[in-house]
Structure 1
Amino acid sequence: MALAMQGERVRIPAGQIEMEGMLWLPEDRFGIIVFANGGTGNRIRPPNDYVASVLRSARLGTMWLDLLTAEEAASRKGELKGELDTGVLAARLDAACEWLRQYPATRDLPLGLYGASRGAAAVLQLGGMRRGICAIVSRGGRADLAAQGILGKVSAPTLLIVGGLDEGIVEMNRAAYATLRCKKRFEIIPGATHAFDEPGSLEVVARLARRWFLRYLHPALA
């Protein structure tokens, strides 16, 4: 059962913009996971909120981060259309990771990244650029939007999760998995679509993500 706690609204500078985020920190936390939203600019979406609550119950802090400004989301100028856009979002995600390294309550915590769909592209791209990331989880990730050649540079242990009925994404992630040179795992959830809204499928995602992050952020608890 998830721990009840109050989230803290944060604003993180990244170049000429400020990103909005929500930070939840269990008292006995031993790590922090950033949830990168790079698709619509919506507030916290239920799938990510559920997975985050499972992680918090395992004593992992979570930050939900919107990589788009409200203006970009409204005009759809921030919608990913290629690797240049993914590079911009990865740079913003990098700024958030640096912010966490400066924030007193999180600066000493092991760091993990979680991204779904287009947000996963930014997560994977940053994983090929930044050291100090302990683990990555990609759910239904658009690996094709990451810069060419970047996946082979990812050093953090990476878990790719896809729905078995999400055919195009399955093949895309299969190719990405073959390219990764880090510790890695590829999980296909039978009967799940891209949204993972089938009964029980999101619970499987949360369980896999929890196990992966515990394994690489706090092996004694895995």
Structure 2
Amino acid sequence: MIRKLPCAIAAGAAGAAAMDGMLELPAAPIGVVLFAHGSGSSRFSPRNNQVAAELRDAGIATLLLDLLTQEEDAAHRNRFDIDVLAARLHAAASWLGTEPLTAPLPLGLFGASTGAAAALRVAADSGTGIAAVVSRGGRPDLAGAALAQVIAPTLLIVGGEDGAVLDLNREALVALAGEKSLEIVPGATHLFEEPGALEQVASLACRWFVRHFEP
């Protein structure tokens, strides 16, 4: 039985009045994962929702939300404003830390594309207490110098046919300070649209979070 709770989270000083999201909790969650969507995507992303469903099957709560309003997302430059994306993701992480249903749970971050850079910026802040990070086809390079401050266990998942992004992830892997791993999905392109590719992403992410959420 999954409990679904629509939520509107204050974005604080990061501009938007509120971020619309959906918090979904299995009966006895072992942790919670906050999703940071990529450029041009939203909380309705079918790819992230597929990953989130597998996490919930493994006993992990999920929060999918919109970091940008529809009006903001219409301006392409906003999708690459990592400072704003990270600030709003930080506000959502802080909300999960005060929400009674999720405050006791270890917190993980799942970022796609530019959302991965925002997730790593948040993880670099030791005050957030992030337990684990997973990046799907991400742009961790956009996190910049923050990579060296990330001590949370971080898994980078990249398609084997996503050439330029794969190179950027290999470089970012070297810069990350904590436990880290790079998983390459053979034959997959940037959106993991190939048969079975997204299922591999979900399985890899699920194992990573379960492993790092366990006491």
Q: Same fold per TM (> 0.5)?
A: yes
Question: Equivalent of 2:130, from 112, 129, 133?
Answer: 133
Residue in 2 that maps onto 1:46: 46
Match of 2:214 in 1: 218
SS in 2 for 1:150: helix
- TM-score, length-scaled by structure 2: 0.93
Q: Does 1:179 align with 2:175?
A: yes
CA distance in 2, matches of 1:38, 1:47: 11
Q: What letter matches 2:54 in structure 1?
A: V
Q: How many residues align?
A: 211
Structure 1 gaps, min length 5: none
Question: Gaps spanning 5+ residues in structure 2: where?
Answer: none
Q: Percent identity?
A: 50
The offset of 1:37, in angstroms, is 1.7
Letter in 2 for 1:203: E
2:139 counterpart residue number: 142
Kindly provide the CA deviation profile for residues 22-51 of structure 1, in whole angstroms up to 9, marking residues without a partner as x. 110111111100011242253411110111
Pair 1:86-2:88 in alignment: no
Identify the residue that residue 68 of structure 1 maps to in structure 2.
Answer: 68
* TM-score, with length taken from structure 1: 0.91
DSSP-derived class of the 2:9 partner: strand
Distance between the aligned counterparts of 2:2 and 2:135, measured in 1?
A: 26
Pairing 1:12–2:14 present: no
- String of CA shifts for 1:154-195, please: whole Å, max 9, x gaps: 010000000000000000000000111100111111100000
Q: Distance in 2 between matches of 1:32 and 1:43?
A: 16
Question: What's the counterpart of residue 164 of structure 1?
Answer: 160
- 1:126 Cα deviation after fit: 1.2
The answer on whether the counterparts of 1:136 and 1:157 sit within 8 Å (CA) in structure 2 is yes
- Provide the rounded CA distance (Å) in 1 between the counterparts of 2:168 and 2:54: 27
Tell me the amino acid that sits aligned with residue 134 of structure 1: A
- The CA RMSD measured in Å over matched residues stands at 1.4
User: Structure 1 segments of 4 or more deviating over 6 A?
Assistant: none
User: Is contact 2:5–2:23 with CA below 8 Å preserved after alignment?
Assistant: yes
